[in-house]
Structures are given as C-alpha cells and as structure tokens.
Amino acid sequence: MSDMLTQIKGLASQLRWAAEIDAPSIGTHSEVLCVGMGGSGISGDYAAAIAEPFGTRVSVHKGYGPVPPWAIRLRPLVVAVSYSGNTEETLDFTVSARDTGLPVAVVTTGGRLGKMAEDEDWAKIDLPAGLQPRAALGYLLGAALRVLEGAHAVDDQRLAFVEAAEFAGRAVEEGSDTWKKAEEIAGALSGRIPIIYGGGPISGVVAQRWKTQINENAKMPAWWSVLPELDHNEITSWETMPEVTKDLLGVVALTDRGDHDRVASRIDFTRDLTSDAVPWVGQVGSSGTFPLTRLVSLTVTGDLVSLLLAEQAGVDPVPVNTIEKLKKLLAKEDE
C-alpha cells in the first residue's frame, strides 16, 4: 500500500506543477475532443466538467479510431492524452485525427505519441514520468486544462490549482477529516461490492473515478451510476434479490453543490426505497470554491477508500497484472 499511497500523496505537488507550467498557444477552440484511456482518459472527463460553465463542449473518446463524422464536420481540437505515450487505442485515434487534418495537441511523458507530436509539430505538454497513470491525475488533468487555456476554451486555472493543491495536501494526511471519512466508508464496504452514485457533472464524473480506482487498486468489482438517470431504471433492480444484495453490495453517494436541487430529494427517496435491499453505507459531499477543488475533494476520498479496501483484501494496489497480460496477448496476436 505504501508506494501507491506515496504516489497519491503527490497530488498536491502535481497540481502546483500545473499552476506553474505555461499554456501553449493554439488558437481559439470552443469544441474539444479529448482522447484517452484509463487513468489518462479520466482527465478528459474531469476537464469536460470544468469546461462546461465556460460554454466549451469537451467530448471524450475512449477507444480506437476512426474520427466520428460529427468531428469531421465540426473540426474540434483533439487533445490526445496518454501518460505512457504508447496507449494503442489513443495512438490509433490520433493517427486518424492527423489523417483527417484535425488540429491536435498532446499530453504525455513521451513514447510513440510524444514522437508523433514532435514530428507533426503539434502543441505538447511533457509530463514527469515514473508513476502509475491513475496516480498522475494532477499532472494529466493539469496539463489538459492548460491546453484548454491555450485554446481559449477555459479561463486561467492557476488560482484553482493552488486551492485544490492546498486541499489535497491536507486531505491525504492520516487523521484528517477526509482520511477518517475514507476509513469509515472502507470499513462499511468490507466484504461488499461497492456501488458509487453521483448526481451531477462533478459528483457524477468522480463516481466513475471511484469505480475505476477500486477496480485497479483493490482489484475488486464495482460500478457507478448517476442520478437522476438511475431512478428511471436501476432503482427497480433491487426488487427481486434482496436476500443476496443486502449482504454483498453497498452504496456510497457523492454530492456536489452543482447538482440540481431535485437530486438531493432523489437521493433521500431512492435510499428510502432501496435500503431494505442494499445498504447505503456513506455519503460524501464536495468541498472548495472552484470546480477543480470540488472534483479533487471527492477524488481524494475515493482514492483513499480504494487503498484501504486493498489493504483489507491483502492485495498490492500498484500492479495491474491482468491488464499487462491482456496487452501481451494483443501484442502476440500482432506478431
């Protein structure tokens, strides 16, 4: 656990790094398409939540090419994000974007994507290397937001980086309110499959992050859903197997002041209607002035929960052996 904890504790310094780097000058773009997978791709989802109030639409593509017809028509700025620079899906899509003549900017530590950016003379932000991608969120998101600043798609985020860094630095210290909350939730989730519910642009995207962090760090299944959509389908799924679900599953609700006013009522009513079949083990509200800080506040809690669940399960949170095995199988198929 210690090495991943050290990496996650680096979030504050990563955000401070983002506050100090320069935004590349890449014209004006109100339409952006972020491309990335896994720990790199989530930065696009976070950037989309931050950019929305500025009137910028950030679409997120997680997969191979080709470029979809809507992007050929609207010609968005493509922001290719790959921590390693060698993510095959991201590379495939970026080649398609290049061949289609779309403008491209790159966020990476190097690899084939970094080389392509140099060859094509694309705007590029080089990231510090040496981390698991999922533990480099501050670098990845910070650089992506700097690219959006350079495209006049969002306002200057430096004050937001500073506030978020200060929060993250306090939150990851053992004994902090965030740490205590994480311990409480991880304890309540012991032996259960976590279900993370969000309710808006910020709480919803962080629910996704909680799910993937639990997958990769604790090596556990988990899922996420977002209100109010889940009240039109998933709410009925608790009706037929309560004798199973009440012992094996647990819901955590994430909230943010940007959630619609009706979402709070929906959370209360949904909990009342389903708690006999699935326990609601905790609720976490965001903190901070800026959207970035509110994202970070919910994120840190989830990262700590995932580490504590890994500790409970007796697994090392750092390696992702099954993912590496899959990559080797794909590489062998290409030989």
Query: What does the chain come to in residues?
Result: 335
What are the tokens at 46?
């976070």
Annotated catalytic residue: which of 232, 332, 333, 335? 232
Do the beta carbons of residue 185 and residue 306 sit within 8 Å? no
Do the beta carbons of residue 154 and residue 54 sit within 8 Å? yes
What angle, 0 to 180 degrees and rounded to 10, lies between the N-to-C axes of helices 291-313 and 201-218?
20
Measured CA distances, 261 to 53, 204, 308 (Å): 17, 15, 32
- 232 is an active site residue: yes
Closest CA to 166 of 12, 10, 11: 12
Say which residues have a Cβ less than 8 Å from residue 264's Cβ, sequence separation at least 6: 199, 255
CA angle 245, 222, 40 (to 5 degrees): 170
Query: Taking the CB of residue 101, how many other CB atoms lie within 10 A of it?
Result: 10
Annotated catalytic residue: which of 124, 149, 216, 219? 216
What span, in angstroms and rounded, lies between the C-alpha atoms of 328 and 335?
Answer: 11
- 216 is an active site residue: yes
- Give SS3 for 320: coil
Beta bridge pairs of residue 126: 108
Q: State which H helix or E strand residue 34 sits in.
A: strand 31-35
What are the φ/ψ torsions at residue 222 (nearest 5 degrees)?
-165, 160
Sheet holding 249-255, edge to edge: 223-226, 193-198, 249-255, 280-285
Residues with a catalytic annotation lie at 216, 232, 327
